[in-house]
Homo-oligomer: A and B are copies of this chain.
Amino acid sequence: MKYRKNEAKEYGRTKLKGVWTALPTNFTDDDKLDEAGTAFNLDHCIGKLRIAGHYCIGNVAEFWSMTNQERMRVHEINVDAAKGRIPIIAGCHHQNPYEVVNLCRHAWDAGVDFAIILTPYVASNSDDAVYDFYKFVADRVDIGIILFNIPQAYYPITEKLARRLATIPNVCGFKQGGPAPAATISLREAVGKDIVVSVADETPWLYNAAVMGDNWLLNFCPHLYQVPGHLPVHDYTEAVRAGDMNKAVAISRSVNPYRAVHAKWITGYGRAVGRMPVHEQKVWMELLGMVGGPVRTPCAPMTAEGREALRADLEASGLLAKLRQHAQPQPLRQVV
């Protein structure tokens, strides 16, 4: 037990900071958990990419296609692979609040630091119902809870509802998936002193850190934009902290080619493909020396043409050259 339930907010303020990432779950060709691959990727992010924390079992981890047993196993793999070097958040999203409780309890018992819970996506369409859902869970678990707001897709956690939820003792963080900056300004005013707020997007992170005073980036891009020896997201974050904004801006500008590839293939404008682009991320990771592998239905695999085009775009962005430049003589993949 890392902290008592009533210490969750304080623990959150201590741990929820810096540049975090969120990895996909790896699967084998016969559709089982790739435990070694999952562990390898996390070790790579900690040891080589210097990430400050990890959120497992999120949307990019295909949580909606994993059984509870598999999800619990991934909690354990994360704790084992992290070896206490960084804090871990487990995504405990589920249609059923009873199952959310089960997932949170397992995470806590396994040594995970926090649970993140998406707003309910079935049967809750009012502030009261969403509050009741979170309260039901929070009353039954000791783990610190991070709220996850994606107002474009799910019932929105407004400033008013956020205030109410922030009073729950073990609610300690807020992943803001709403992209409107003014919305987040009000949110920080409303709950930013009580719980830690992270805008879930690397793009405006320099601005949020430098101008808005944010300390925590919870996003799935850092392991896609960085390779061993070339850590621009880490570096511009450090430059902001050091007060060297010219350096920070220059480094952030150097990420633009990677952001453009990301916008094109993963979160891009007008790309209404209707599926989570998880295989795109796995292929990207393979190109950077991490473990990728297949995805599960309803995600779809990239075509051979798509894979080649993505590779060409990453080559053109300069990221693959950075990988080669910093390549170590030892093999990249080794089971931890």
Contact = CB atoms under 8 A, between A and B. Distances in A.
A304 interface: no
Nearest to A94: B95
Given A181-B203, A300-B132, A98 B65 contact: yes
Contacts of A127: 274
A99 B297 CA distance: 12
Interface stretch (A3-11, A240-248, A279-287, A326-334): A240-248
Contact of A298 (B132, B179, B186, B271): B132
Nearest to A259: B185
Interface of A: 59, 62, 64-67, 94-99, 120-130, 132-133, 136, 155-156, 158-162, 178-187, 189-190, 201, 203-204, 206-207, 210-212, 243-246, 248-249, 252-253, 256, 259-260, 262-264, 267-276, 296-300
A132 B182 contact: no
A54 to B, nearest CB: 21
B211 A274 contact: no
A243 B267 CA distance: 30
A186 B245 contact: no
B270 A123 contact: no
B298 A268 contact: no
A123 B252 contact: no
Contact of A270 (B161, B201, B246, B273): B161
A211 B253 contact: yes
Given A123-B64, A185-B203, A186-B270, A211 B298 contact: no
Given A98-B67, A207-B204, A211-B256, A182 B268 contact: yes
A27 to B, nearest CB: 12
Nearest to A264: B186
A59 B95 CA distance: 12
A298 B124 contact: yes
Residue of A183, A184, A244 most packed against chain B (CB within 10 A)? A183
A333 to B, nearest CB: 28
11 contacts: A65-B97, A126-B275, A127-B274, A133-B297, A155-B274, A181-B203, A183-B269, A185-B263, A206-B207, A211-B256, A212-B256
A274 B315 CA distance: 39
A268 B59 contact: no
A64 B298 contact: no
A136 B95 CA distance: 20
Contacts of A124: 274-275, 298
Given A211-B253, A245-B248, A186 B269 contact: yes
In order of increasing CB-CB distance, the 5 nearest A-B pairs are: A126-B274, A158-B270, A186-B269, A245-B245, A181-B203
A123 B256 contact: no
A179 to B, nearest CB: 4
A32 to B, nearest CB: 12
B206 A297 contact: no
Most chain B beta-carbon neighbours within 10 Å: one of A95, A96, A182 = A182
